[in-house]
Amino acid sequence: MKYIIKIGLFVILFCACSTANAQSAAAIHKNAIVVDTHGDILFNQIKSGIDIGKLQTTGNFDLPRARMGGLDVQVFSIWCDETGGYDLANREIDSLYSLIQRYPKQITLVRNYTELVQAVKEKKLAAMIGVEGGHMIENNLDKLDQLAKRGMSYLTLTWNNSTPWASSAAEETSGKVKPEHAGLNDFGKKVVARLNELGVLVDLSHVGERTFYDAMKVTTKPVLVSHSCVYALNPVPRNLKDEQIKAVGKNGGVISLNFYNGFLDSTYAGKQKKFFEKHDAELKDLTKKYGRSNAIDTLITIHQAEANAIRTPVSVIIDHIDYIVKLIGVDHVGFGADFDGAESFPSGINGVADYPKLTSALLDRGYKKGDVEKILGGNFLRVLKANRN
């Protein structure tokens, strides 16, 4: 009987602790300023014509789910591949302006730290603009200035394609850019200097190592790495090596973790390859109809159970955070999910509504309230304020 009573007491205490932990996580999440430094929904919005002010059954972002997830700040990525440029960037910015005009009580454009804090006080989603790829300024500082006037808060110096003035990680590692031509040229250094003058964050996701270190030499302000992970945990070209992570720490910048399974989990690429091989004929047919990217999304939807089985656990995101924290401290890490920019995220992380799960996972790993608040958004706010108050 005593044994049974002890077991019963243990169960009661366990349940009570679990409830208390859940309440604590919810309170911390609610009171924190939660920031996502990279989301790709705008390109999808202009392509499909969806209204992300309303709840959607596809994709990872809309305003109702952002509110569900306690998201306070979303940096909307302005993205196009190397075939697009300045005009397409402006079309995407126009689409964000239109969204804000339709839902002014829910979302507002912010350009600096002061406006961001005010938006949070007003319980509106603070919308920021991040231009993902220097090719969109078309080698023209006047166009850079115009994008800044429209609200550009950061410029990612390259996407996967290099520009005439900066080499990308993809092309430095593939050998497409020869070592003697890698990094920033004189115009590229002027771009970084101009961004500093304007108070626009220098974003070093996607850039090659040579470009990374050249930019670090030029910048006078803390940098952002808007959506990248740790190379030591998954050695893909898009992730940061230890010396790069240390350089960001020394600079006072912040690294926002990408949630894409392919950047988080070193085993994911192999599992994904087997999935594609199993459904090769179907994938080829879908690609003919919809193009490669949409074909992959469709294949995943058709075989959802199989696709879910190869997703990595949420704990892997926290593993990458742990690694950075141990290397340079808790003041230099945040979240840049890459929602709507990748096809697969960790189990249970299906969109912006799931941000509270990250708060719980951080607390479960032993992070204290103040550190969780820094990771959720405080670190980004510090860097933003240092660039443009």
For the whole model, what pTM was predicted?
0.93
**Residue segments in the chain with a per-residue pLDDT below the cut of 50:** 2-20
Neighbours of 198 (CB within 10 A): 17
Tokens of residue 162, six digits: 């290099």
The reported pLDDT for the residue numbered 376 is 98
Residue that is written with structure tokens 């003058």 in the block: 197
**pLDDT per position as a tens digit, 217-234:** 999 999 999 999 999 999
What whole-number distance in Å separates Cα of residue 180 and Cα of residue 176? 12
Residues counted in the chain: 389
Tell me the residue type at 120: V
The reported pLDDT for the residue numbered 22 is 67
What whole-number distance in Å separates Cα of residue 348 and Cα of residue 248? 30
Q: In this structure, are residues 267 and 313 in contact, taking their beta carbons and an 8 Å threshold?
A: no
Q: In this structure, are residues 36 and 357 in contact, taking their beta carbons and an 8 Å threshold?
A: no
What whole-number distance in Å separates Cα of residue 269 and Cα of residue 33? 33
What whole-number distance in Å separates Cα of residue 373 and Cα of residue 354? 16
Label residues 318-341 b or e (16+ Cβ within 10 Å = b).
bbbbbbbbebbebbbbbbbbbbbb
Neighbours of 156 (CB within 10 A): 28
What whole-number distance in Å separates Cα of residue 104 and Cα of residue 374? 28
| Cα separation values, 303 from 88, 275, 341, 342, Å | 34, 10, 20, 17
Q: In this structure, are residues 374 and 35 in contact, taking their beta carbons and an 8 Å threshold?
A: no
Tell me the residue type at 19: T
